[in-house]
Structure 1
């Protein structure tokens, strides 16, 4: 059509909000999808694929996140040291006991684009094991 224009957001005119999500008894995958959508800005009408229009997300109570089925025992997080024979594997149960924030961070990272834009989105994610967080001054909006 002639005369119609699509709105494209510019990086400097994006207004960022802060959201607080309580992970208590929420399924890990569904929580991660919700967080990834907010980080990438897809929940806004001004979403633009080539601009980071997302908001900040604070996730609390990461240690109380829920997993269905046998994922706690069967699912693994793998990483490699870079040396021969350096593959390290941890079950989700071990990760939840050691660093529960890491589990949510890894799952959300898997849902974001693997580009510079995706890394900028990922930096706006703040995950804490317990209910306390240092972002009260930003007045985060609670999301159910």
Structure 2
């Protein structure tokens, strides 16, 4: 009779763990950068959707609406003509609002005609910067 032992030796287990650790070391930064880029794109899409909703509301009510960009809290808020919030969203913690001015706030004005006025809005994240078109 032949004695056959089933299972893994300690050396085999250690080697597999070393290969997994090496793979995670090489792939980890790329995964993190991908998540950062995704968060940056998502924040840009949120801002564009706020402007789009504001444009629809401004045309529907025939009154100006506003998008408030809060650099201090990294949030965006859609305001009606009475300055009451219609929608509010905080950006991911890795995304910051970059404004041309030194102010903590910026306002994007949305006219009933659909024209959007405001300073250039850039978002900065771990994966770089994104300039958001206001039109």
Q: Find the structure with the greater CA-based Rg.
A: 2
Question: What TM-score, normalized by structure 2, do the two folds share?
Answer: 0.25
TM-score of the superposition, structure 1-length normalised? Answer: 0.23
Q: Determine which structure has the larger strand proportion and give its number.
A: 2
| Greater relative contact order (Cα < 8 A, sep 6+) | 1
